[in-house]
Amino acid sequence: MSAPPRSASLRQAQWQPHVLALNAPSAYVPWLMEGGSLTARLKAHSNAFRVQCLHQRTEICLSDEAAVIGMHRPGRVLEREVLLRCDNTPAVFAHTVVPRSATATDWPLFSALGERSLGTTLFGDPLVRRGVLEFARLREGHPLARRARAALVGNGIAAPDAHILYARRCLYQRRQGTLLVTEVFLPAVLELIKTSTNKR
């Protein structure tokens, strides 16, 4: 079978369960490997944490998401994209998809989250089951890398010089519903310093 055209390979990511396979700079590894809520970690590394909701609307999921969330082919999802800001600096671009077939019983709080952190509704809910983390290097052509860059530019912030962005994703399940969270770490995350005044 012939290899996909180069443009296709730039748009796709190879998601894998081993963070070391990414050969990411070592400073990214603790962020990629965070086993608890990323919101909590970001709060512990800033004095002011904010979720900037870019949109939450019906979209067609990405081609490399469909199978993960239980869809035979890319289909309609409720898509939420946010910038997670630490002391007003965007540190993470996050992209979450929930199949439109999910019901409010599955994810009772998701549709009305607004600028509340999704993490606060996932962690601590005994019905939520969290899957394993997967990791990927996103080249500039990947849809999420493009959207992360566009979100920064749309907020008057220069897009990162880095040609690769490092990302992780995790599948959550609750009752009959699935929810896939993908977190793209912006280079600014490496500038965050743990503040002694913040609690985890």
Ligand X SMILES: C=C(O[C@@H]1C=C(C(=O)O)C=C[C@H]1O)C(=O)O
Nearest to 52 by CA among 89, 96, 82: 82
Does 117 participate in binding ligand X (rule CB under 6 A)? Answer: yes
3-state secondary structure of 130: strand
Does 177 participate in binding ligand X (rule CB under 6 A)? Answer: no
Q: Using CB under 6 A, which of the segments 1-9, 63-71, 79-87, 125-133 binds ligand X?
A: 79-87
CB of 8 or CB of 109, closer to ligand X: 109
Is the distance from CB of 61 to CB of 68 less than 8 angstroms? Answer: no
Does 51 participate in binding ligand X (rule CB under 6 A)? Answer: yes
- In the annotated binding site for substrate, the residues are 80, 118, 183
The binding track of 29-48 with respect to ligand X, each residue x by CB under 6 A or -, is --------xxx---------
What does the DSSP 8-state code read for residue 101?
T
Angle at 49 between CA 95 and CA 45, to 5 degrees: 100
Q: How many CA atoms lie within 13 A of 52 on its CB side?
A: 18
Among 12, 46, 96, 178, interactor with ligand X by CB under 6 A: 96
What does the DSSP 8-state code read for residue 196?
T
Contacting positions for ligand X (CB under 6 A) = 37-39, 51, 80, 82, 84, 92, 94, 96, 117-119, 122, 181, 183
